[in-house]
Every structure is written in structure tokens, then in C-alpha cells.
Amino acid sequence: MTILKELRSWRDEWQKVYRFHGGWITELRCLLGAWLVKRGKVEIIPQMGQLDAVTFSVVTKMTAVWAYFSLRIARQVPMRILIADSAGSLSQVLPQQPGMQILPVFNYHHANKLDMFVNQLCSAPYVLVSDDDIFWLGSDAILWALEQFEGNPNLAVVSLLPKNETPDLLKDKVQQPMGSLFMLRRSIWLGENLSFAVDNSPLKHNMGIYDTGEKAQTQLLERGYDIIYLPESMRKDFVPLKGISTWVLKTQKHQGNLRRHIQSHAGLQEKVFQMIVSANRLGKLFLKIYPQATDGNFTRPIFLQNVENLCRELLPAESIHFIESEIEQKMYLLESAMFAD
């Protein structure tokens, strides 16, 4: 990354993240954290079992909910949980707990952070990568994936929640994109010198781009490694939500004024309304999990209210009802799991 691009990145991330989480001091702390990770100067808590679990946080209270469910699974499947705190304020809402480490890391592109963690911080034979808006309810799927790895030394990746749609660029190359929840064998990943980096070069031929990890997925298959997918019947262990971090950050950057960004795009209106409903419901769940907290707002309430009003103005009633019902069903699963112990 050139110095000019780096400076632009600092400015952009300040606008949408750090001015809401302590300002320049927090941003500098996260930049320092990333510098230390890249140079191997971060002391990591001891490895726990065969698995390192990794996620990245910019919406701190959502990550705190994710951590609650993930730590419950860690009691059944020993794992070390490493969280990149890219807002720099996660430790203010999430108490430090055994087996979990929070590391301030600048909010570089998701692929860059993944490379940093898998290459520099993880050391377990297997790495479980998860977005922090995918919540784990049980351990069966993770145990199944570990069994597949143990039984097949040629297995490189187990996709636990693959993407539903396969871009044209990947058709005839992969069965499905591996998605945002997967487990990889670290020795193969490092031995093949793979990267999660986005590759825009196919755009020159009007073929789209390789999104995060997608080029590496094709390279693994071309080199003769195996990639398998969790059977659909076992995916009930996970409750995925969609696009919360992306749209919370855009809401912050534009201070709740998203009309010009979504007015002409019904699909975006639905995605943004999904974010609003999810954020409001997860905020309430956050307060149940951490009753010592003073509020469950994911960002400034006026921003979320402005966006909610806009979505209710633009969306048809049936779309609003469908999205609210879908999110409510997922919240029911999460709340039921909370009280299952």
C-alpha cells in the first residue's frame, strides 16, 4: 500500500469508525496494533486444543453477543478465540475472559486482516474463520469438520456456510464460494503461500472480481486439494444475519442520511432495513447478556432512527413485515439458546 493510499485509508476509517470510538487516539492505537501484529511483536494467549477461532469487530456490541455464544461452544470444543478489535473500543463492553483475546487492529480491508491473523497470530492446526454476525448455537458442525480433517490429510477447507450464489467468474471452478464461515488447515494454506486478497484483474476482461478468499479457493482446487461443504441438515447450528457491520458503518459515515444511497435501489433498502431490525433486536439481546451495560445502541440512536424512518417510507408494507418476521425468528433461536443451559 502506497503512502497516499494509506493516508486515504486513515481518513476514510476515521470518518466511518474512529470518530465514534475515541477519535484519533483510538485510531493510532489500532494502527500500532496492526504494526505489531505484522512484525510478530504481539504476545498471544496459549493455544487451546487444535482450533483457533478468528473474527473481526467494528460494531462492538454485536461482537460482544457473538463472543457470548462462541465462548459457550468453546466449553464443548476447546479453542482459542482471537478477536481483531478494529473499532478500538471492544474491551469497554466485552469483559476479558479465559480463552479469548482482544487485539486492537486498524480496520484494513477484511482480506488483509485475515492474512495478518492466519499468517502471524494463529498457530493451531485448524483455523475457524467467522464473521461476527454469524452466531453459533451448537458444536456438532465444528466437531464434524474436525473429524473430516483428521480423516483426510488432503482436505484444505471445510465450508460451514457457503454463499448461496456463485458468481460467473467462479462457475465451473468451484462448487460454491466458501462464504464467511469456514475452517481451514493452516499447514496447507501457508505451505501453498495463499492469500485472502481480493483480485480485480479479471475486470479487464469483464469477468468480475475474485472476492475475499475466492481466488485462493480456486487455487486450492487447481492444485489438487479437497474442499467440502457442511451438509445442509447440520447448518442449523448457526444463525447468520446479513450486512450489519457494512451498513452500520455507512450509517455512521453519513450520520443517518442514506436517502441518496438507497432511494433508487429496492434491494439496498431491504438490506438496510434488515440491518436496522437486526441492530435493534441484537441491542436488546446485548443488554440481557451484559445487564451491567447502560445501553444497547449499536451507534447513535438518532442515526438509526433516521434510517429506519427512511426505510419505512420507501419499502412496501409486505417487505417490512417479511423482514421483521425473518429477523424475529432468528432472535427467537438466539434467545432460546441463551436459556438452554
What is the C-alpha to C-alpha distance for residues 326 and 338, in angstroms, rounded to an integer? 19
What is the structure's pLDDT at 229?
Answer: 97
Q: Return the pLDDT at 206.
A: 72
Using DSSP's 3-state secondary structure scheme, residue 168 falls into: helix
- Tell which residue, 60, 94, 62, has the closest CA to residue 290: 94
Across all residues in the chain, what is the average pLDDT? 94
Weakest-pLDDT range from 61-75, 155-169, 195-209, 245-259: 195-209
Domain architecture of the chain: domains with CATH? 3-238 (3.90.550.10), 241-338 (no CATH)
Residues 296-312: what's their mean pLDDT?
96
E-only strand ranges, the chain: 51-57, 79-85, 100-104, 126-130, 134-136, 155-159, 181-185, 226-229, 238-240
Q: CA 232, CA 55: separation in Å to the nearest integer?
A: 23
Lowest mean pLDDT among 142-156, 164-178, 271-285, 324-338: 164-178
Bin 29: left if φ > 0, else alpha if -120 < ψ < 50, else beta: alpha
Mean pLDDT for 255-265 is 95
pTM above 0.85, yes or no: yes
Lowest mean pLDDT among 107-111, 199-203, 276-280: 199-203
Q: Which three cell numbers stand for residue 157?
A: 477447507
Supply φ then ψ for residue 158, to 5 degrees. -115, 115
Q: What pLDDT is stored for residue 1 in this prediction? A: 57
CB 22 within 8 A of CB 14: no
State pLDDT tens for residues 71-129. Answer: 999 999 999 999 999 999 999 999 889 999 999 999 999 999 999 999 999 999 999 99
Tell me the percentage of the chain whose pLDDT exceeds 70.
99
CA 247 to chain centre: 13
Residue 204, pLDDT above cutoff 80: no
In this structure, are residues 216 and 195 in contact, taking their beta carbons and an 8 Å threshold?
Answer: yes
- pLDDT digit string, tens, across residues 218-239: 999 999 999 999 999 999 999 9
Which pLDDT score, from 0 to 100, does residue 164 have? 87
pLDDT band at 198 (very low <50, low <70, confident <90, very high): confident
Least confident stretch, 151-155, 229-233, 305-309, 336-340: 336-340
pLDDT confidence of residue 81: 98
Please give the single-letter amino acid code of residue 303: F
